[in-house]
Structure 1
């Protein structure tokens, strides 16, 4: 295109000033811009532009000082313009003046829905070869505007998410150049957008700027053929651009930087041609979800909308029904939009975890794919969570059986009807039908009334889902003891996952007592806890340290191997008890009181004990068997075993993780279950306090017996 045929629209800075704050650059600069210096800088830019193109002017208007930034007037392609819908009310007054100019100059004008922000060529930049349109979103323009651009301009739209509030418009950090080159600041974008850029622009044509150039708005430049007009560039950047054939023209625009704009913001190219590779294409995807519950006071609606935004999508609340009474639930219908199918799937997976579901009329059946290789799921299989899950089959909701984390959902037809169940990848068999995608899936989340959520007296709440600090340990122990007594007296099930630290910290006698008094129904651990417990029972030491005096015993480092050898001679822990060799300790109590235990081996195990399961998959299956039906799981200083158990435990099971290492308890608390709590403390101290507190309690069962006796 010849210079004479290239046209730009500019607006004189007659009324320009920083009158308000709508971006970070304006902060501290209100009414601190020099009008005279701004006019002088604008005039210099105007004359530079006229040397390379024809410049048309739009009449400035009183009351809209940012009208000088004509890039935001709209997006022009050939004789069509999509008019801007400004995000901030401070700029919305510009819209009729720009619309009038475009209509008077023969453009076909498209206007977006009233509440759908889109800020023109500030957030939409044509590839300079005319192959596609780069469109930004995240601060000023909504992702939902991009399908309109694709339709009205008949061009492929590539959506880029902006992450740095300093670069609130795409043109502040992204500048397509002639011959397929790109000048941009990668940290301004999320990882998905950077991957998209790298897929479309070859590495040798990507010119990434450093932060000093970015904050000088080097990317907010005007490119006309081989000329780049900008506020300022470092010597290094100028050299890199010159090496690939561009000529840099610097013209200071510091007064306009105070409002967050530079050369590109001050100009709008109104002669744009296109040779698209793809017509009317936008990769964005939209879905509608429903949420129900105490959406406001539980913060559920805020968490859902934050997940959408943080995940790279946008949303529109279509309907919201607020419960009229404090015990009433609310409901919301939300339209979620994402820049691609992959991003949408990630967002939807997280929303499903919150209890979101597609409207029933939209999904009758879950998509299913057939397993073609044993132990290998289809690529897009749904990964399960700890929460009770239902899938849509034959337009009905079917509860998934054997709920656990990190599995696939297999749907099968049985004589009793349709069955859906969680299966680990290794258990999948050729021919299984596996749920794929996230359509027609919902997690069943408990909806509690305000009274239950705020109760803190008799209801066991585990102090929310979090990590308790040292000074709250005694309070939490009281709550745990109360719940343990309830579980035991009603014939429930408590499972302990324990590491060797229980022995080292003097907790063996307390855990033994819990087993003896009927509080423990299963014990999970590794080879080490059993070895050290047995070493202490046989020799009074743990890892060669005298547990009474706290000092090393001469030759004590051999004790653990001697303990292993003794049990191996007997044939098993149970046989050692039967033969009278093992007469005390945790595992002695397990054998005497018929409490099942499972020991999972590892590569570091000495011996191992005959009871230790060295087949990892068999050990996992044994763990899963023993935790079935558990009401509570008490995890005592065993990071790997605890995390493994946490992953195979469904929501609804109360979990207590005790460890001196905050990272361990945080890991378990972060699993998302509201029934879990982490306690950062010495595990021996915790067990001592727990046993003491249990001794103080009188259970409802005992109380009833006392009353009956008195009567």
Structure 2
């Protein structure tokens, strides 16, 4: 059996580390010893020729990595797929290897020039010959795998590498005789590890730790029951021995400096061909994205999303806008190892505004609701962006757009109605869109153009630092003035910190002057505001002196009791009991408000809605049609409002805690901004700026 094994090697006559194309080369430039490398190579050669026939290819001046023959190509039977090297430093090796393969009578298959694939370094045959493991992520592209399946007539299983130290599959993965597998799980993503576990039974998986992995224990040559490797720990050698293998160590430290060991230095040239289904599960889609792709960073987001999701991409076309305000268009071919991964990636790309390019309009997948308030599995989760769904060859706009909902389709006498609904609101008789087919979202490029021309813009959904607060306040003041003057709508979401920091007098002014058209908050802001109005304290602290008042811890309960005696906040105002404060101004100027309760509320006030679903519905009603939402130090209420607000509404989140404003800016809307500062200071600056706009410079 062993006499039939033939291995191709290349002497290290020109071997040297004189460039960096992998992490192992970093710090080793010109630090390798050709003399030691020659000695190590000869020792490996001597060990292998005991079990196999060694053939050699002539080394070539100027190509030091030619010694790593595993990367020359992939051989199965009489066919060989020639490598397409990723780095220019190795591309010159290709014609020499091609000439050698042709001289040996192999049928040589050549991949497209722009499609990297690095041979048996990234493709390893299961030792029973049933399928081919193929790696991608660093040196080989996923799109090369269907070619391997076709040309070699073999089933291809795609594995994604995620640790740049293990840039080739054979650095962390070694199929062994009788279906055993020696591998390092940390080199692969979750999907790939799951695929390995599905194909290789537990008793045949030999998972190694990082110590053995960095010594390239997986970069071994397996011939029958012999495993030739650079180095292995005692525990690993014992594991191999227990399974009937004989590990043989042969030091290859000089080659580790270039990122290779025993397997890298060899290419088995007579891999037996066994019949297997010619399949590859690789999926392809072509998407199009349009907008200010460079300014907004959208193109980077799209490409990063594809790679992070386990896919690969090729930019098929990129038309950059000729002028500053022109939009750009990019077409990207997306590849994924199977349909499940593709669906996950496409779902995220659709959220970014990508559309699928197809000759035929792909219809959305609809599944009937079988239990009220419960969506089918794999339902599409909505975003803040306007969405359309393809049904019966027509794109229908989704009504009631909001984040974290499902798309429900109902048949009515006037036709199909497509609406974004919370899971709890789904009803029998409706269908829900599942998967990501037949869905497209739209980003508002008009808003982007406008932002690009304004000196103070909300570009990038960023979090402002303290030194920019004045600039942001100036922009907000202009927006408030314009919205009020044209009859628009501003909603304020406020927390009790507004009262504690002395911001209530400024919020009162905004309400009186017609800048606020709805107020949202919890029980606490109303209680603390009323406590201040009735007793001059907030949580028992004198707001004028900043000192605790004797018995002040009871003040908020007294405030609640007073309003409960009146029956409502409005009744307290009408009865002359409540004569100032934020809630007073709302009642006097007919500004609607909604107070959502929580489990920690004292009382609560009679106006507070303790039914969460009722409160959410009331919030949604009040923010409908808003042009700007000003969020003032209320984390939970701000996040809740953000989730139910569609794109196109400007949102300003002010909080001293950066985590809160970051949470809101992560929605991705370019109309949103977070301001990290004291909310009382912010409101004071806002009133000062509004005074300037109206010609009033007197201090508030």
Please tell me whether residue 693 in structure 1 is matched to residue 692 in structure 2.
no
From the superposition, tell whether residues 161 and 316 of structure 1 become closer, same or farther in structure 2 (CA, over 3 Å): same
| Matches of 1:364 and 1:258, distance apart in 2 | 51
| Matches of 1:640 and 1:451, distance apart in 2 | 32
Report the equivalent of 1:348.
Answer: 346
Please tell me whether residue 645 in structure 1 is matched to residue 641 in structure 2.
yes
Unpaired runs of at least 5, structure 1: 703-711
Listed as ranges, the matches of 1:14-413 within 5 Å are 14-273=13-272, 279-359=277-357, 361-413=359-411
SS in 2 for 1:232: coil
Report the equivalent of 1:7.
Answer: 6
Cα drift, residue 201 of structure 1: 3.0
SS in 2 for 1:613: coil
SS in 2 for 1:242: helix
Cα drift, residue 360 of structure 1: 5.4
Listed as ranges, the matches of 1:616-655 within 5 Å are 616-655=612-651
| Matches of 1:449 and 1:322, distance apart in 2 | 19
SS in 1 for 2:355: coil
Please tell me whether residue 561 in structure 1 is matched to residue 538 in structure 2.
no
**Aligned counterpart for 1:476 among listed residues 441, 454, 472:** 472
Cα drift, residue 461 of structure 1: 1.4
Q: Report if aligned partners of 1:463, 1:476 keep a CA contact under 8 Å in 2.
A: no
Q: Report if aligned partners of 1:364, 1:394 keep a CA contact under 8 Å in 2.
A: no
Q: Report if aligned partners of 2:325, 2:452 keep a CA contact under 8 Å in 1.
A: no
Report the equivalent of 2:575.
Answer: 579
From the superposition, tell whether residues 637 and 362 of structure 1 become closer, same or farther in structure 2 (CA, over 3 Å): same
From the superposition, tell whether residues 505 and 203 of structure 1 become closer, same or farther in structure 2 (CA, over 3 Å): farther
Cα drift, residue 381 of structure 1: 1.8
Q: Report if aligned partners of 2:362, 2:437 keep a CA contact under 8 Å in 1.
A: no
| Matches of 2:635 and 2:123, distance apart in 1 | 50
| Matches of 1:155 and 1:377, distance apart in 2 | 40
SS in 1 for 2:398: strand
More displaced 10-residue stretch of structure 1: 329-338 or 204-213: 204-213
Q: Report if aligned partners of 1:131, 1:274 keep a CA contact under 8 Å in 2.
A: no
| Matches of 2:487 and 2:512, distance apart in 1 | 15
Q: Report if aligned partners of 2:387, 2:401 keep a CA contact under 8 Å in 1.
A: yes
Q: Report if aligned partners of 1:327, 1:449 keep a CA contact under 8 Å in 2.
A: no
From the superposition, tell whether residues 488 and 297 of structure 1 become closer, same or farther in structure 2 (CA, over 3 Å): closer
From the superposition, tell whether residues 585 and 373 of structure 1 become closer, same or farther in structure 2 (CA, over 3 Å): same
| Matches of 2:217 and 2:531, distance apart in 1 | 70
Question: Deviations for 1:287-345, whole angstroms, at most 9, x for unmatched residues?
Answer: 01112233345443333223222222111222333444444333222211011222212
Cα drift, residue 453 of structure 1: 4.5
Cα drift, residue 144 of structure 1: 0.3
Please tell me whether residue 661 in structure 1 is matched to residue 660 in structure 2.
no
SS in 1 for 2:86: coil
Cα drift, residue 435 of structure 1: 1.8
| Matches of 2:243 and 2:358, distance apart in 1 | 56
| Matches of 2:77 and 2:352, distance apart in 1 | 46
Question: Deviations for 1:529-548, whole angstroms, at most 9, x for unmatched residues?
Answer: 11111111222221111212
Report the equivalent of 1:492.
Answer: 488
Question: Deviations for 1:396-426, whole angstroms, at most 9, x for unmatched residues?
Answer: 3322111100111123344444432211111
CA RMSD in angstroms, aligned pairs only: 2.1
| Matches of 2:202 and 2:588, distance apart in 1 | 69
How many residues are matched?
Answer: 696
Report the equivalent of 1:707.
Answer: none
Cα drift, residue 39 of structure 1: 1.4
| Matches of 1:476 and 1:463, distance apart in 2 | 12
Q: Report if aligned partners of 1:364, 1:396 keep a CA contact under 8 Å in 2.
A: no
Cα drift, residue 451 of structure 1: 6.9
From the superposition, tell whether residues 663 and 144 of structure 1 become closer, same or farther in structure 2 (CA, over 3 Å): same
Runs of 4+ in structure 1 deviating by more than 6 angstroms, as ranges, are none
| Matches of 1:557 and 1:365, distance apart in 2 | 62
Report the equivalent of 1:552.
Answer: 548
| Matches of 2:187 and 2:113, distance apart in 1 | 28
Q: Report if aligned partners of 1:149, 1:157 keep a CA contact under 8 Å in 2.
A: yes
More displaced 10-residue stretch of structure 1: 198-207 or 666-675: 198-207
Question: Deviations for 1:567-626, whole angstroms, at most 9, x for unmatched residues?
Answer: 222211112222222222111111111111111111111111111111111111111111
Unpaired runs of at least 5, structure 2: none
Report the equivalent of 2:424.
Answer: 426
| Matches of 2:301 and 2:624, distance apart in 1 | 31
Cα drift, residue 464 of structure 1: 4.1
More displaced 10-residue stretch of structure 1: 191-200 or 217-226: 191-200
| Matches of 1:520 and 1:675, distance apart in 2 | 19
| Matches of 2:623 and 2:320, distance apart in 1 | 40
SS in 2 for 1:283: coil
Report the equivalent of 2:441.
Answer: 443
| Matches of 1:450 and 1:509, distance apart in 2 | 35
More displaced 10-residue stretch of structure 1: 601-610 or 353-362: 353-362
| Matches of 1:111 and 1:664, distance apart in 2 | 54
Report the equivalent of 1:706.
Answer: none
| Matches of 1:425 and 1:4, distance apart in 2 | 66
Q: Report if aligned partners of 1:129, 1:274 keep a CA contact under 8 Å in 2.
A: no
Cα drift, residue 115 of structure 1: 1.5
Cα drift, residue 274 of structure 1: 5.7
Q: Report if aligned partners of 1:357, 1:440 keep a CA contact under 8 Å in 2.
A: no
Q: Report if aligned partners of 1:659, 1:683 keep a CA contact under 8 Å in 2.
A: yes
Cα drift, residue 241 of structure 1: 2.8
Please tell me whether residue 675 in structure 1 is matched to residue 674 in structure 2.
no
SS in 1 for 2:660: helix
Cα drift, residue 657 of structure 1: 0.6
More displaced 10-residue stretch of structure 1: 369-378 or 629-638: 369-378
From the superposition, tell whether residues 464 and 42 of structure 1 become closer, same or farther in structure 2 (CA, over 3 Å): closer
Cα drift, residue 395 of structure 1: 3.0
| Matches of 1:147 and 1:463, distance apart in 2 | 42
Q: Report if aligned partners of 1:634, 1:656 keep a CA contact under 8 Å in 2.
A: yes
Cα drift, residue 99 of structure 1: 2.4
| Matches of 1:579 and 1:206, distance apart in 2 | 79
From the superposition, tell whether residues 507 and 497 of structure 1 become closer, same or farther in structure 2 (CA, over 3 Å): same
Cα drift, residue 364 of structure 1: 4.5
Question: Deviations for 1:411-458, whole angstroms, at most 9, x for unmatched residues?
Answer: 33444444322111111112212222222322211225997454343x
More displaced 10-residue stretch of structure 1: 420-429 or 156-165: 156-165
SS in 1 for 2:287: strand
| Matches of 1:451 and 1:335, distance apart in 2 | 27
SS in 1 for 2:32: coil
From the superposition, tell whether residues 449 and 478 of structure 1 become closer, same or farther in structure 2 (CA, over 3 Å): closer
